[in-house]
C-alpha cells in the first residue's frame, strides 16, 4: 500500500490565503478549506461574508469548527517532509544543518566557521569559544553551502560588500580589484537592505490595502448603481403605467363618445322610421280609397269626392335626410390633442430623470485664458466671459483663437463622461459645445463634427441650430435660460439640454472620439451692447443640488 506521503502533496494541504500548510483547518459550507485564523481575518477585513475561492455569499457568518481529518493529514505531512510552520514574525524557520565533527549521532549545528569551512554543534564549538586563535575565526549562523560564503579568488570569507559593483568581496579584494571602491561590511549593507526590504514591504502592504479598499469601493459603487438602477426602473415603470392609464382613459372617453353618437343616430333613425311608417300608413289608406272610387259605378259620388282624394296627404321631403355613419372629426382631434398632451407630460418626466442622472457627471469647468480670443474678457475665477469693445494686446500663442471670439475650458477629457451648464440668459447669440484638442484655432472656423467641433448656437434672438452636417434647425417651445452639455466619450455622444424646462435640445450620436475633448464657449460679438450679457458657467454645487 502506498504511504500517505506518496499520496499527498503540499498543494493539496495548502491554505489558499496564506499559501502555507493548513493550521487549524476549517471548512466553509461550499466545501473549501482554509486556516481558521486566515479565514477570520479575511472576513474581518471585508464587508461581505463570502468564500475567498468561489465567492459564494453567506447570509451570516458560518460557525467554524476545526476539520480534524484534514488537521491530522496536515500534521502528518509536516512530520514526514520536515516542514516547519511559519513563525509569528513571518520568517520561515531555518533548515536543519548538522555538525561536521560528530561521528556517530549527528547533532544540529550551532555555528559555521568560514575559516575552518565547517559547522559545529554546541559541544564541538567549544574550542572556538576558548582558544584565542580560534576566537578570531569568522563564525556565522549554520549554513550548508559554506563555499558560497568564501571568495573563490582569494579563498577568504566574503566579509565586505562593494556598492560600486554590487557584489560581495573579501578583505583582499578591497586592496586589489575593488581598491578605492565604496565598500562596507556585509553586516552594514545587510542592515541597510533589511531596512529597504521593510520599506518595500510597507509599500507593498500599503498597495495591498489600497487595492482592498478599491475592491470595497468598487463593490460599494456596484451596490449604489444597483439601488439607483432599481429606483430608475421603478420611476420608468410608473411613467409608462401613467402613460398607459392615460391612453386607456382617452380610449375609453373616445369609445364613450362614439357609443353616444351611435345611440343618438339610432334614436334619430327610430324617429325617422316612425314618421316614415306613419306616412306609409296614410299613403296606403289613400291608395285604398283611390282604388275603391276608381271601381265605383256611382259617377256623381266619384265627382264629388275626387277633389279631396286627388290631393296627396301631407308628407315630408326625405330626399336629403340621412344618418351620418362617420365619427365627428372634432372628437378625433380632441382625443389626439389630449393624448399628445399626456405623452408630452410623461416624456418630460423621462427627460427630467435623464437630466438628473447625467448631472451627476458635472465637472468644474474653468475657462483657459491662453485660448481666449483677444476680444474676450474673462472673470478672475474663469467662470464668466463677455466680448469687449476692443481687441486686447495678447500674445498670439498656438492655442489662442485669433479670429473667432471663443474660448476653451482648461481641462480636457479623453474618457468617461462629463457635463457642464452655462447660463445664456439675456443673450441674442451664442455658441456652446465641445471641440477636440487639435481643432483649428486660427482664422475662420466651421463648427462641424468633421472639423472636430460638436455644438449648437443661437442667432437673431430666436434662431437655434445644431451645427451637424447638414445643419439642423431647432424648433424650441421656449428660449433656454440655461443650457447643459453632456458628453459620453466611449459612447460617442454629445447631448444638449434646456435645464430649467427639463427638455432635450439635440444630440450628436455615433461619433468617434480619439483625442481630448474641451468645453467650447463663445459669447459672440457685442453687437453694440445688444449682446453684452455674459455667458456664466454654473458651479458644480449648483448643478448637482
Question: 154-169, pLDDT tens digit by residue?
Answer: 888 888 999 999 999 9
Mean of the pLDDT values across residues 484-491? 95
pLDDT digits over 31-51, tens only? Answer: 899 998 888 888 888 878 888
Q: Write down the pLDDT at residue 351.
A: 80
Distance, CA of 315 to CA of 281 (rounded, Å): 11
Three-class SS of residue 38? helix
Q: Does pLDDT of 84 surpass 50?
A: no
Q: Could you tell me which of 153, 174, 152 has the C-alpha nearest to residue 164? A: 174
Whether the pLDDT of residue 520 is over 70: the answer is: yes
Q: What is the mean pLDDT of residues 324-341?
A: 73
pLDDT at position 66 is 86
Q: Where are the beta strands (DSSP E) in 98-180?
A: 111-113, 118-120, 139-140, 160-162, 167-169
Give percent above pLDDT 70 in the chain.
93
- Mind listing the pLDDT tens digit for each residue in 213-264? 999 999 998 998 898 789 878 888 888 888 888 888 888 888 888 888 888 8
Give the phi and the psi of residue 433 in degrees, each rounded to 5. Answer: 160, -145
Q: Pairing mode, if any, of strands 407-408 and 517-522?
A: antiparallel
**Comparing 415 with 331, which gets the higher pLDDT?**
415
Judged by average pLDDT, the poorest of 9-13, 17-21, 451-455 is 9-13
Backbone angles phi, psi at 450, to 5 degrees: -65, -20
Q: What's the confidence (pLDDT) of residue 6?
A: 45
Q: How would residue 91 be classed by pLDDT, with cut points 50, 70 and 90?
A: very low
Supply the pLDDT for residue 17. 87
pLDDT at 451 (0 to 100): 94
Q: What is the band of 314 on the pLDDT scale with cuts at 50, 70, 90?
A: confident
C-alpha span between 364 and 491 (Å, rounded): 22
Instruction: Pick the range with the lowest mean pLDDT from 43-57, 164-178, 310-324, 437-451.
Output: 310-324
C-alpha cell of residue 66: 476545526
Element (H, E) at 519: strand 517-522
Q: What is the chain's mean pLDDT, rounded?
A: 87
- DSSP string covering 328-349: PHHHHHHHHHHHHHHHHHHHHH
Question: Parallel, antiparallel, or unpaired for β 160-162 and 167-169?
Answer: antiparallel
**At residue 72, does pLDDT exceed 60?**
yes
Question: 379: which 3 cell numbers?
Answer: 472673470
Q: Is there a contact between 456 and 474 (Cβ–Cβ < 8 Å)?
A: yes
* Ranges 3-17, 322-336, 360-374, 400-414: which has the least confidence: 3-17
Question: Which one has a higher pLDDT value, 314 or 95?
Answer: 314
Give the pLDDT score at 479. 95
**DSSP string computed for 211-252:** HHHHHHHHHHHHHHHHHHHHHHHHHHHHHHHHHHHHHHHHHH
Question: pLDDT at residue 516 above 80?
Answer: yes
Q: Given CA atoms 459, 462, 468, 469 in this order, what sign does their dihedral have?
A: negative
Pick 186 or 459 by higher pLDDT. 459
**Rounded distance between C-alpha atoms, residue 386 and residue 156, angstroms:** 82
If one counts every other C-beta atom within 10 angstroms of the C-beta of residue 401, the result is 23
What pLDDT is attached to residue 128? 92
Are the beta carbons of 465 and 456 closer than 8 angstroms? yes
∠ CA 370-371-375, rounded to 5°: 100
* Residue 95 pLDDT level (bands cut at 50, 70, 90): low
Short-list 19, 18, 29, 32, CA closest to 70 = 32
Cβ-based neighbours of 273, under 8 Å, separated by 6 or more: none
Per-residue pLDDT averaged across 339-362, rounded? 83
3-state DSSP call for residue 41? helix
* In the predicted structure, residue 428 carries a pLDDT above the cut 60: yes
Helix (H, G, I), strand (E, B) or coil at 71: helix
Q: How far apart are CA 351 and CA 503, in angstroms?
A: 6
Cα torsion for 533, 539, 543, 544, to the nearest 10°?
-170
d(Cα 468, Cα 508) in Å, to the nearest integer?
8
pTM of the model: 0.50
Q: What is the average per-residue pLDDT within 423-428? A: 96
Mean pLDDT, range 12-35, rounded to an integer = 87
Q: Residue 90: its pLDDT value, please?
A: 44
From CA 448, how far away is CA 511, in angstroms rounded? 12
Task: Please state, in angstroms and rounded to a whole number, the distance separating the CA atoms of residues 415 and 487.
Answer: 10
Contacts of 229 (CB under 8 A, 6+ apart): none
Mean pLDDT, residues 53-60 taken together? 87
Q: How far is CA 57 from CA 43, 66, 175, 227, in A?
A: 11, 21, 66, 19
Highest mean pLDDT among 200-209, 264-273, 468-477, 515-524 belongs to 515-524
**pLDDT value at position 80?**
66
Position 325 scores a pLDDT of 62
**Are 487 and 434 a contacting pair, CB within 8 Å?**
yes
Return the pLDDT at 310: 78
Distance (Å, whole) CA 466 – CA 508: 9
Long-range (24+ apart) CB contacts under 8 A made by 222-226 are none
The C-alpha atoms of residue 109 and residue 123 are separated, in whole angstroms, by: 9
Give the three-class secondary structure for 507: strand
> What mean pLDDT do residues 72-79 have?
75
pLDDT > 90? residue 475: yes
Task: Tell me the Cα Rg of the chain.
Answer: 48
Q: How far is CA 528 from CA 51, 317, 481, 522, 525, in A?
A: 72, 76, 22, 17, 9
Amino acid at each position: 500500500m502506498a504511504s500517505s506521503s506518496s499520496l499527498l502533496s503540499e498543494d493539496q494541504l495548502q491554505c489558499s490565503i496564506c499559501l502555507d500548510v493548513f493550521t487549524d483547518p476549517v471548512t466553509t459550507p461550499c466545501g473549501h478549506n482554509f486556516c481558521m485564523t486566515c479565514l477570520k481575518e479575511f472576513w474581518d477585513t471585508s464587508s461581505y461574508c463570502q468564500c475567498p475561492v468561489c465567492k459564494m455569499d453567506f447570509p451570516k457568518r458560518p460557525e467554524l469548527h476545526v476539520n480534524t481529518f484534514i488537521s491530522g493529514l496536515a500534521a502528518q505531512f509536516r512530520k514526514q517532509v520536515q516542514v516547519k510552520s511559519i513563525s509569528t514574525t513571518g520568517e520561515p524557520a531555518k533548515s536543519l544543518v548538522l555538525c561536521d565533527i560528530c561521528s556517530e549521532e549527528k547533532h544540529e549545528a550551532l555555528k559555521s566557521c568560514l575559516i575552518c569551512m565547517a559547522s559545529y554543534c554546541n559541544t564541538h564549538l567549544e574550542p572556538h569559544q576558548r582558544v584565542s586563535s580560534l576566537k578570531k575565526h569568522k563564525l556565522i549562523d549554520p549554513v550548508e553551502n559554506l563555499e558560497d560564503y568564501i571568495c573563490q579568488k582569494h579563498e577568504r570569507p566574503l566579509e565586505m560588500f562593494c556598492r560600486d559593483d554590487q557584489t560581495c568581496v573579501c578583505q583582499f579584494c578591497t586592496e586589489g580589484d575593488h581598491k578605492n571602491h565604496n565598500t562596507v561590511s556585509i553586516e552594514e549593507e545587510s542592515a541597510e537592505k533589511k531596512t529597504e526590504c521593510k520599506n518595500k514591504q510597507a509599500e507593498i502592504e500599503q498597495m495591498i490595502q489600497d487595492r482592498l479598499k478599491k475592491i470595497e469601493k468598487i463593490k460599494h459603487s456596484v451596490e449604489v448603481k444597483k439601488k439607483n438602477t432599481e429606483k430608475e426602473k421603478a420611476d420608468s415603470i410608473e411613467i409608462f403605467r401613467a402613460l398607459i392609464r392615460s391612453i386607456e382613459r382617452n380610449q375609453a372617453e373616445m369609445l364613450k363618445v362614439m357609443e353616444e353618437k351611435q345611440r343618438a343616430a339610432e334614436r334619430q333613425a327610430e324617429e325617422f322610421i316612425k314618421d316614415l311608417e306613419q306616412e306609409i300608413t296614410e299613403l296606403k289608406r289613400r291608395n285604398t280609397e283611390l282604388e275603391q272610387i276608381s271601381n265605383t259605378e256611382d259617377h256623381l259620388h266619384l265627382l264629388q269626392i275626387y277633389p279631396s282624394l286627388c290631393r296627396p296627404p301631407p308628407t315630408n321631403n326625405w330626399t336629403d335626410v340621412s344618418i351620418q355613419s362617420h365619427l365627428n372629426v372634432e372628437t378625433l382631434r380632441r382625443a389626439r390633442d389630449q393624448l399628445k398632451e399626456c405623452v408630452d407630460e410623461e416624456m418630460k418626466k423621462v427627460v427630467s430623470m435623464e437630466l438628473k442622472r447625467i448631472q451627476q457627471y458635472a465637472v468644474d469647468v474653468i475657462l483657459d485664458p491662453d485660448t481666449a480670443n483677444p476680444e474676450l474678457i474673462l472673470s478672475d475665477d474663469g467662470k464668466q466671459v463677455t466680448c469687449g469693445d476692443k481687441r486686447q494686446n495678447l500674445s498670439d500663442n498656438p492655442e489662442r483663437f485669433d479670429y473667432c471670439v471663443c474660448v476653451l475650458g482648461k481641462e480636457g477629457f479623453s474618457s468617461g463622461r462629463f457635463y457642464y451648464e452655462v447660463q445664456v440668459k439675456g443673450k441674442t447669440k451664442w455658441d456652446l459645445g465641445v471641440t477636440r484638442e487639435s481643432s483649428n484655432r486660427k482664422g475662420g472656423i466651421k463648427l462641424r463634427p468633421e472639423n472636430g467641433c460638436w455644438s449648437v448656437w443661437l442667432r437673431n434672438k430666436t434662431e437655434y441650430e445644431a451645427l451637424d452636417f447638414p445643419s439642423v434647425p431647432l424648433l424650441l417651445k421656449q428660449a433656454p435660460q440655461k443650457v447643459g452639455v453632456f458628453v459620453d466619450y466611449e459612447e460617442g455622444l454629445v447631448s444638449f439640454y434646456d435645464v430649467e424646462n427639463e427638455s432635450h435640445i439635440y444630440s450628436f450620436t455615433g461619433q468617434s472620439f480619439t483625442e481630448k475633448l474641451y468645453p467650447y464657449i463663445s459669447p459672440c460679438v457685442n453687437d453694440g451692447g445688444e449682446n453684452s450679457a455674459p455667458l456664466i458657467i454654473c458651479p458644480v454645487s449648483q448643478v448637482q443640488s
